[in-house]
Structure formats: C-alpha cells, structure tokens
Amino acid sequence: MRGTRQQIEVVPTPADVTIVAQQLISAAANVSIGKRGFFRVALAGGSTPRAVYTALAAGENLNWERWQIFWSDERCVPPTSPDSNYRMAKETLLDPLAHRGDAPRMVVRLAGDGDPDAAAAAYERAVRETVPANPASGAGQLPRFDLILLGMGADGHTASLFPHTTALAETERLVVANEAPKLNTTRLTFTFPLINASRRVLVLVGGADKAPALHKVLAGPRDPDLYPSQRLHPVDGTVTWLVDAAAHSQT
C-alpha cells in the first residue's frame, strides 16, 4: 500500500481552475477507461464545478459511453429545484451531451426528494453494486471511485460533511443523511470512508473567502472536527487541491 499522495496546484484565476480541472478530469477518464473499461466519477455541486461541467461538455475525445456518474452530496430538494446539485449538472453537462448524442453509460441520481435516510441507504446499495471494491481499504473492501470531485466551504467543510456534525465520525456507512443544525437543514452525503477509498480526490477551491480555512486545513493544527477537509486522506490514492491564487493567499 503506497498511502496518500497530496498535491497542491495553485493557478492564478477561477478561469484557470476550470481549465486545469477539465484537463485533469479528462485525463483521469481516459486512463481509467483504458485500464478498467469505465470511468466511475462522483460529481459535486457549487459554482466552480458548474463552469467545469460546461467545459467538459464542450470538450472532445471523451468516451462518454464509458462514464458512470454519481454525486458526492445532495440537498434534500426535488431534482427540479434550483438548489439541486443534480439539476445543475444536468443543465450544464448531461443535457448538452444528450443533445449531441453523447449520453454517459450510467447516471445514478442521489435522490433528495424522498425520505433522507432511505435515500442514503438506497444510494449506498447502488454504489456497492456498481463500483468495484478497493482491496487496499481493508477487510470491508470499500467501493473505489476513479475520481471524486469535491469543493471546500469557507468553514472547511467538504461534500456535506460540516463541522461538528455526526457524519464526521461515521466509519461503517458510505452514504448518510447528515443533519447540519447551523444551516437548519439535512443533506445527503458520501462519508469519509467512501471518499478516502477513491483512486483520486480532486478538491476545487476558489476565492479569498476560502483563504483562512484553506490555510487551517493544509497548514494549521489538526482539528478535523472543526475543519472536516483535514480528513481527506485517500487510503491508496491521490488528493489534489486545485486552488486559485486568492484562496491560496494565506497558505
């Protein structure tokens, strides 16, 4: 087992984050399809991924027939809601691909419009049934995504794993309904055991408002209950922090 490999790539602007993210995801897809026949990826929500999905949809030389698409987290809203991560990816990536006849092999929506606990359990079953296990993850052999795309909030959260929430301590379940009292909401989210079983984790961080938390996550004292993104340590994979200069200004 080689352990976690961490990379920090700093680019000047948010536009550069989009360009480099598109390149990294495309390269990971081509390698995964070449080696394993499929590219199993979990998408994220947020403004930065929106631009990345638009760039991916406009790109060429991607074998979309071999993509299997999941989501790393979702709000408890219908898929038609403006707040839905699924809707954002559908509008920016899936619909443009369908329009030109490039539909991915599999799209598995994380359903935020039903009972949260039941939706989380159903999604975990779908992940376990579709994504092959990672032998390096231990006796349980957790499903191993080729790439999980994440962001980081100004409070240091990632996916919907917020500071001081119960999902941070989860060691068995792969997808949970995580109550976030400070936001007065419940979110569906991958847990760290599943995230850290991935071959590659790509974290997109942009904006000066993220600078204090990014500094704490990357260089500060270890306090993963306060800064959950400190828990990003793939068991036998790579975590890449792709950040713009503003976000990196205090690190």
How many of the other CB atoms lie within 10 Å of CB of 202? 25
pLDDT tens profile 11-43: 999 999 999 999 999 999 999 999 999 999 999
Phi, psi of 230 (to 5 degrees): -65, -15
Q: Which of the pair, 140 or 96, is modelled with greater confidence?
A: 96
pLDDT for residue 217: 98
Domain contains 1: no
175-180 and 185-190 beta bridge pairing:
antiparallel
CATH code of residue 20: 3.40.50.1360
The mean pLDDT of 81-91, rounded to a whole number, is 97
- Whether 60 has a pLDDT exceeding 90, the answer reads no
143-159: burial string, b at 16+ Cβ within 10 Å, e else: bbbbbbbbbbbebbbbb
pLDDT band for position 4 (cuts 50, 70, 90): confident
pLDDT band for position 182 (cuts 50, 70, 90): confident
pLDDT band for position 153 (cuts 50, 70, 90): very high
Domain contains 233: no
Domain contains 101: yes
Q: What angle do CA 131, 140, 126 make, to 5 degrees?
A: 30
pLDDT for residue 2: 61
DSSP-derived 3-state class of residue 19: helix
Q: What total number of domains does the chain contain?
A: 1
Domain contains 198: yes
pLDDT for residue 1: 44
Q: What is the pTM of this model?
A: 0.95
Q: What is the enclosing helix (H) or strand (E) of 239?
A: strand 238-244
Average pLDDT for the chain: 95
Domain contains 228: no
Quickly list DSSP for 193-219.
HHHTTSSEEEEEE-SGGGHHHHHHHHH
Domain contains 121: yes
pLDDT band for position 136 (cuts 50, 70, 90): low
Domain contains 75: yes
pLDDT tens profile 97-132: 999 999 898 999 999 998 999 999 999 999 999 999
Structural domain that includes position 50: 9-221+240-244
